[in-house]
Amino acid sequence: MRRTMLQFGGVILLAGLLVFACDDSSTNSNDDDTSDMPFGTQRDIAMADSMWKAYSGYTDNWDQYPGLEGWQDGNSPHGAYLKYYVNDVAKGDLENYPYGSVIIKENYPAEDESQPGPITFMTRIEGYDAENYDWFYAKYLPDGTLDENDVGVKLAGRVAKGAGEGGADAACIGCHSGADGNDFVFAND
């Protein structure tokens, strides 16, 4: 019953986020020269906060990514070790990721759950960012607060859109755009 309620809540959340996400009239939440960044806006932060709350029980209610159960070797910018989780929507079609798909990656510096690193979310929202397969990205610290880049912009939304492929500055979109199949997901490559 809890799993069904969590899934239902996630669907309702995503429906609400679609309306919220498609209005690009928000401005960046920062008051400095980062206001032209297409991520880290007040709207992105609110969406990421809602997702954190809606999916907080994922380790108890979701399956690990099929074929990637247990510890996986990681690489930069993620941890040295990773654990992947998917909701039932994503699990239903790991080749095409229907709208409503959520992939969560736990990042660890060592194979030790007592030392968690950041937690990254990818949520596919219809109409959000068609150029980049409609993925919304968020990077959280273990306590659920959003991580920030070097200039203090919260890592939520279209993270590093337009930064191009490769390099530390490319972040989510720049890296994930290189995934095979043009789906922005490496786990199924």
CB 156, CB 137: distance < 8 Å: yes
More confident residue, 98 or 173: 98
Is 33 part of a structural domain of the chain? no
| Count: domains in the chain | 1
User: Would 108 be classed as within a structural domain?
Assistant: yes
Element holding 138 (H helix, E strand): strand 135-140
Q: Which two tokens stand for residue 132?
A: 């980049």
pLDDT tier at 170 (50, 70, 90 boundaries)?
Answer: low
When mean pLDDT is compared over 5-19, 30-44, 171-185, the highest value belongs to 171-185
Identify whether 165 is part of a domain: yes
The token duo for 2 is: 């809890």
pLDDT score at 175? 80
> Mutual orientation of helices 42-54 and 2-22 as an angle, nearest 10°?
170
83 three-class SS: strand
pLDDT in tens, 136-167: 999 999 999 999 988 899 999 988 776 555 44
Q: What's the pLDDT score for residue 162?
A: 62
The pTM of the full predicted model, rounded to 2 decimals, is: 0.80
Q: What is the pLDDT of residues 102-137, one digit of tens each?
A: 999 999 999 999 999 999 999 999 999 999 999 999
User: Does 189 reside within a domain?
Assistant: no
Please check whether residue 188 lies inside any domain of the structure: no
The token pair at 27 is 């401005």
- Domain extent, residue 100, equals 2-21+38-182
Q: Which residues contact 177 (CB under 8 A, 6 or more apart)?
A: 132, 165, 184
Residue found under tokens 């709208």: 99
